[in-house]
Amino acid sequence: MKKYIFILGISTVFITACDPKTTQAILSSTNDIINSAGSTTPTLTNDEVIKGLREALSVGTNNSTALTSKLDGFNKNPLIFIPWPKEAQAMKDKLIQLGFQQQVTNFETSLNRAAEEATKEAAPIFIDAISQMTISDGFAILNGNDTAATHYLREKTYTPLKEKFSPVVSNAISKVKVTSYWTPLANTYNLIPGVKKQNPDLNAYVTDKAINGLMTLISQEETKIRKDPMARVTDILKKVFGTKK
């Protein structure tokens, strides 16, 4: 007859067994208890996951708007720089041929200045949209790719975001005088015989580009939170993304 001594926490367990099979079963069961007791992985609820995803997007939004609202936040960032409207590319090419390169550059800068100005007021609009997100399967998004939550935000809230953000952009366009750069160029171009008159909706263009630029940076922030423990600046982020395997 053999005696086995096991220490679990502060308790010592003495087990006596005379049959090898019984002994093995006891040992196996005891190991399971020890392994279970040693596990430190918390259990997440779907509500916690959704809260964590919203928090990640909110942190990403605050960080992104802080970057874009600075001088040259759009203008000097090649990832989100707003270029001359594509539908007016022929106009740009012709104006450059006529020696208006500096004026073209000034206009492009004004587009980016408008986006920078508008994103000073973007965070509350984005965070309001995030707070109203209904995520039916938080775990699927949590365990999705590195930008799954941002993709969900774009897919589910883009239209209402655009509607709320558009007047902010309109005010920014007026403040930085985008049209004062555009109008002389358009008037010069439209005087050229045979060309198609150009008058793109600059408000819609800057709104779309500003939202897309912010989404791009938010996706980068989401990836950072998923991969870098130091980026998890709140308890819920630490719990949700620290638990994710």
Q: What is the pLDDT of residues 149-199, one digit of tens each?
A: 999 999 999 999 999 999 999 999 999 999 999 999 999 999 999 999 988
pLDDT at 42: 59
> Is 121 in contact with 168 (CB distance < 8 Å)?
yes
pLDDT attached to residue 134: 82
pLDDT of 35 reads: 46
Residue for token digits 């982020």? Answer: 237
pLDDT at position 132 is: 86
Tens of pLDDT, residues 14-27: 444 445 555 555 44
In angstroms, the CA 214 to CA 73 distance is 11
CA–CA dist 244, 235 (Å, integer)? 14
Residue 116: name the closest of 59, 76, 57 by CA: 76
Residues 6+ apart with CB under 8 A from 131: 54
From CA 119, how far away is CA 68, in angstroms rounded?
7
Residues of the chain with pLDDT under 50: 2-18, 26-27, 29-41
| Rounded Cα gap, residues 220 and 91, in angstroms | 34
What is the per-residue pLDDT for 27? 46
DSSP string for residues in 115-165: HHHHGGGHHHHHHHHHHT---TTHHHHHTS-TTHHHHHHHHHHHHHHHHHH
